[in-house]
Amino acid sequence: MKNKNSAVNHRPNARTIHITKYMDGVFEETEDSISWEEPLEIRICNSNSGTCTQFAVTMRTPGEDEDLAAGLLLTEGILKNPLDFKTEKTGKVESNVIEAWLADYSGEMDLKRQIPSYSSCGLCGKTSIDQVFVKGARIQHTFRAIRPEIILSLPEKMHLHQKMFSETGGLHGAALFTSDGAILAWAEDIGRHNAVDKVLGRSFIQGYLEKGKILQISGRAGFEIVQKAAIAGIPILSSVSAPSSLAVETAEAFGITLLCFVRGNRFNIYTHGSRITGQLMAEHRDKF
């Protein structure tokens, strides 16, 4: 049968399209929900001079654009004070351009992230490897070690808030938790980096970022997500999938506890295991 391949409906996070489904030798005309993806241009504007500079173009799931812009600027080392951050959409209400007005932006920083940054790759908008290493302090957070059961409960708690993932199966999720497993913020996006930026941006703007101790993500733990956690001061990063070698090295350097393959009744500790109780003997902790 012919696939109509045309959208029949859409809403902020998903589109419903006509498809042809094949199963057990039978073709069937039906409908399917797919993730919505559109570009967002982020501009940095000086509140004093009124001038704006293009910062980045990123593919994202529409919605929560202010959170996305705030999180991206925060983890790039540009946004320092939530009180200095104001945004406005240009043109129509559904515009794909957002202006971030920063009172303390001098215009002197090197803004070279002016080529498209795609949702699947948080580094696609970087012009050189040197720009990847945003300065961040080594995390020294001390609190009572977390029980493994709390870590194992986080993916399901995050999943309960992934309403569009349940419908489309095509969105990444991120969530910020306290040390006792209470959820503070969550977000979904077609790009895992965008989901993280939305969570961190919202937490930063609303003033509870410091309460966040564990960042849970649905995808793999790549270098830039570890870097984002470091800049935001999050001591524990938990992933349901695999890490990269550079992610492990970065987590070790920044003092982040990196947990991966957090599934069912298991997870792997890659760095700074002393924040998790009962997992490693004291003399072997922090050697991963």
- Nearest Cα neighbor of 212 from 244, 187, 243, 235 is 235
Q: Where in the chain is the domain with CATH 3.10.20.10?
A: 38-132
Q: What is the DSSP letter of 34?
A: E
The second-level CATH assignment, the architecture, of 38-132 is Roll (3.10)
User: String of b and e for 244-262 (b: at least 16 CB within 10 Å)?
Assistant: beebbebbbebbbbbbbeb
Tens digit of each residue's pLDDT (9 = 90 or more) over 130-178:
455 565 678 877 778 899 999 999 999 999 987 766 666 668 899 999 9
Query: If DSSP codes are grouped into helix, strand and coil, which group holds residue 280?
Result: coil
Cα separations in angstroms, 30 against 20, 79, 148: 6, 46, 43
pLDDT band at 93 (very low <50, low <70, confident <90, very high): very low
Question: Does the pLDDT value for residue 56 go beyond 80?
Answer: yes
Task: Return the pLDDT at 169.
Answer: 64
Q: Which residue has the tokens 């209470």?
A: 182
Q: Rounding to the nearest 10 degrees, give the CA dihedral for residues 268, 270, 272, 273.
A: 20
CATH top-level class of 148-284: alpha beta
pLDDT digits (tens, 9 = 90+) for 95-143: 788 999 987 665 555 555 544 555 566 666 554 444 555 656 788 777 7
Q: Give 209-252 pLDDT, tens digit per residue.
A: 999 999 999 988 888 898 899 999 999 999 999 888 878 888 88
Tell me, what's the pLDDT at 104?
A: 67
Q: Which residues are catalytic?
A: 121
Residues in contact with 178: Cβ distance below 8 Å, sequence separation at least 6, in sequence order: 184, 211, 212, 213, 214
**Whose structure tokens read 């990196």?**
258
How far, in Å, CA of 62 to CA of 92, rounded?
A: 14
Give the integer Cα–Cα distance in Å for 213 and 162.
Answer: 20
Q: What is the pLDDT of residue 187?
A: 93
Q: What is the mean pLDDT of the chain?
A: 78
Residue with the larger pLDDT of the pair 86 and 5 = 86
